[in-house]
Amino acid sequence: MAKLNRRSFVKMVPGGALAAPGIAAAASSAAAQQQKQPPQPPQKVTKEALDAAEQLIGIELTEAQEAMALAGVNRNLASYETLRQIDVPLNTEPAFSFHPGLLGKEYPRRQAAATGRGRGARPPFSKQQAPKFSSLEDAAFSTALELAELLRSRKVSSLDLTKMYLERLKRYGPKLNCTITLTEELGLEQARQADAEMARGRYRGPLHGIPWGAKDLFATKGIPTTWGAEPYRSQMIDYDAAVVERLRAAGAVLIAKLSMGALAQGGLWFGGMTRNPWKTEDTSSGSSAGSASTTAAGLVGFALGTETLGSIVSPCSRCGATGLRPTYGRVSRYGAMGLSWTMDKIGPICRGVEDCAAVLAAIYGPDGRDRTVTDIPFHWSPATPLGSLRIGYLKAELEQGDAEQQGLYKEALEALRKAGAKPEPMELPKFSTGSLRFVLSAEAATALDDLTRSGGVNQLSGQAPGDWPNVFRTSRFIPAVEYLRAQRARTLLMRAMDSLMEKWDVFVSPAPASASLLITNLTGHPAVVMPCGFIKGLPQAIMFTGGLYDEAAPLRVALAFEQATPWHTMHPKI
């Protein structure tokens, strides 16, 4: 619709509107008034700019509406400019928080029988056999719980185990480009402390004395925390992240800060691309790139990663590791780089399913510094009968791909059936989930806004259209109204998933190529990813997704699959 301006209106009046005596007099008086007023400063947002912006916001204003809006838009701009001068530290979250649980719901619905309840209770893990070895390096690919049995039985010391993994990191780390900072001095100190405590009979649990690696977005006092990004490569944070504190309390030994895609995107960091131990000319994917690569390569006992939209699932799938993305709000994000406040999640990357359960048991629960964390116990019960769980599978997704891929998924379902499961076909809710994806980029652009406006993003290695610099700049044009509308639509998606999960305890899908990956990262549901075979020498993966705050169910199904298949026992030869 064409807009009517004053000039076109004048032309529409027969004989010319300004020729009318009354109108001419009024115009003369208005002109006189204008001459008496002091000149106004030019408006930064012009009518032409407002015209263009209307296409973005999806509405069309009349001339009169534009005139009224223009003053307010410029007043708002002045507020924005003042706001940008306020020093907002990077670890400052918005004055609101996201909760995946719906009002009126009690979680978890299914309570597993467990001997220990509440934080600090030690879950009942399956009995492990201490691995046999001629040299300690033969145990490098053992699970954390197998290593724990070696330590508990005093067959090896934490110090010797730590030295072995440090040596492997030095030998293979450069080839995989998976390590940013070795924390050798700290690791050796913590290992000696663990040995001394166990010698005195003080045993902190299955992670006591186990060497581990941290994705380099977790704050570590006195050690650089680089976020994998050029502008932060010398960054020192003067406190420890909550998960670093909790793993230290569990007796774990921190030996490395691991590579991550710059500002948690992909596998490219300021030192180059993180490599896949199965095929070192390939990327490990990301953004928990180093965490998956080092774990799969037997360079650490276990690692921690984070996921916002696939950053645990994707590198685990590529590298053949086992990863757990817990329910959103399970683990405190205090001291972790914020990317998307309503989507960021912290989880373990391991070589065994029960390792993931052990790490989650050590790090979950409120800490008083992250208000999104809910105080709901984690009940791990590896003896839960598989037949008692309602297990669905995304039939259409598992039947996609070539014949070889379909064959792997068919064999995976058959292995579950032989283990006692009764999987049935199901479908995801019909929802335009892709339209909500910009929630992530809007929040990420906000979190790193100072870096964008200062030009610091121009230092990042990745400068392609899909990389953060362009995403951050583009996301400045996302209207606040649309962002909030997307959050309201997200509530509808959460309701749809809640209705679906009333029927199922767990569902099975491919990984990472599943529509459920975006859906469940928006709704906050937990998932376990693990290898399910190989194609052309590279790992393929499957995913088990569970209900909110019920990580035990997908972990239990994943454990059954692990026990029924050989894939977790296969390791890369670097």
- Tokens 């999640």 found at: 345
pLDDT tens-digit series, residues 256-278? 999 999 999 999 999 999 999 99
500 contacts 386 by C-beta, under 8 angstroms: no
Q: In sequence order, which residues have a C-beta less than 8 Å from that of residue 480 and are 6 or more positions away?
A: none
62 contacts 510 by C-beta, under 8 angstroms: no
Instruction: Select which of 284, 287, 475, 514 is catalytic.
Output: 287
Tokens at residue 531, please? 């290898």
pLDDT tens-digit series, residues 397-412? 999 989 999 999 999 9
Identity of residue 43: Q
pLDDT confidence tier of residue 15, bands split at 50, 70 and 90: very low
| Residue 329 reports pLDDT greater than 90 | yes
The pLDDT of residue 17? 39
Average pLDDT, the chain: 91
3 state SS of 268: strand
The pLDDT of residue 35? 56
322 contacts 528 by C-beta, under 8 angstroms: yes
| Residue 487 reports pLDDT greater than 50 | yes
| Residue 574 reports pLDDT greater than 70 | yes
388 contacts 422 by C-beta, under 8 angstroms: no
Instruction: Select which of 311, 317, 514, 516 is catalytic.
Output: 311
260 contacts 273 by C-beta, under 8 angstroms: no
The pLDDT of residue 565? 98
Query: What does the alpha-carbon distance between residue 384 and residue 386 come to, in Å, rounded to a whole number?
Result: 6
Query: What does the alpha-carbon distance between residue 322 and residue 354 come to, in Å, rounded to a whole number?
Result: 10
Query: What does the alpha-carbon distance between residue 293 and residue 278 come to, in Å, rounded to a whole number?
Result: 9
The pLDDT of residue 383? 92
The pLDDT of residue 42? 79
Percent with pLDDT over 90 in the chain: 78
The pLDDT of residue 96? 81
The pLDDT of residue 14? 39
The pLDDT of residue 130? 83
The pLDDT of residue 341? 97
Tokens at residue 433, please? 């989930």
pLDDT tens-digit series, residues 505-534? 999 999 999 999 999 999 999 999 999 999
pLDDT tens-digit series, residues 236-251? 999 999 999 999 999 9
Query: What does the alpha-carbon distance between residue 233 and residue 172 come to, in Å, rounded to a whole number?
Result: 22
- Percentage helix, strand, coil for the chain under 3-state DSSP, each rounded to 5: 45, 15, 45
Q: Rounded mean pLDDT of 134-141?
A: 96
215 is catalytic: yes
Residues paired with residue 331 on neighbouring β-strands, in sequence order? 364, 365
| Residue 434 reports pLDDT greater than 80 | yes
Phi and psi at 110, nearest 5°, equal: -100, 115
3 state SS of 114: coil
Identity of residue 248: R
Q: Rounded mean pLDDT of 8-17?
A: 37
The pLDDT of residue 78? 87
Q: Rounded mean pLDDT of 223-237?
A: 98
287 is catalytic: yes
| Residue 1 reports pLDDT greater than 50 | no
pLDDT tens-digit series, residues 360-403? 999 999 999 999 999 999 999 999 999 999 999 999 999 998 99
Tokens at residue 312, please? 């645990």
Query: What does the alpha-carbon distance between residue 371 and residue 436 come to, in Å, rounded to a whole number?
Result: 24
The pLDDT of residue 12? 37
Burial class (CB in 10 A: 0-12, 13-18, 19+), 345: buried
pLDDT tens-digit series, residues 108-137? 654 443 333 445 456 778 878 888 889 999
| Residue 312 reports pLDDT greater than 90 | yes
The pLDDT of residue 107? 79
Q: Rounded mean pLDDT of 437-446?
A: 95
The pLDDT of residue 352? 98
N-terminal to C-terminal alpha carbon distance within the chain = 66
The pLDDT of residue 56? 85
Identity of residue 547: G
311 is catalytic: yes
Q: Which of 354, 277, 278 minimizes the C-alpha distance to 561? A: 354
pLDDT tens-digit series, residues 23-56? 444 445 545 555 565 666 678 999 999 999 988 8
Tokens at residue 6, please? 């004053």
Query: What does the alpha-carbon distance between residue 545 and residue 542 come to, in Å, rounded to a whole number?
Result: 10
| Residue 310 reports pLDDT greater than 90 | yes
Query: What does the alpha-carbon distance between residue 543 and residue 285 come to, in Å, rounded to a whole number?
Result: 17
Instruction: Select which of 142, 158, 215, 332 is catalytic.
Output: 215
Dump the DSSP string for 305-372: EEESSSTTHHHHHHHT-EEEEPPTTSB--TTBPPS-TTT-EEEEEESSHHHHHHHHHHHBB--SS-TT
Region of poorest pLDDT, from 7-16, 76-85, 341-350, 531-540 = 7-16
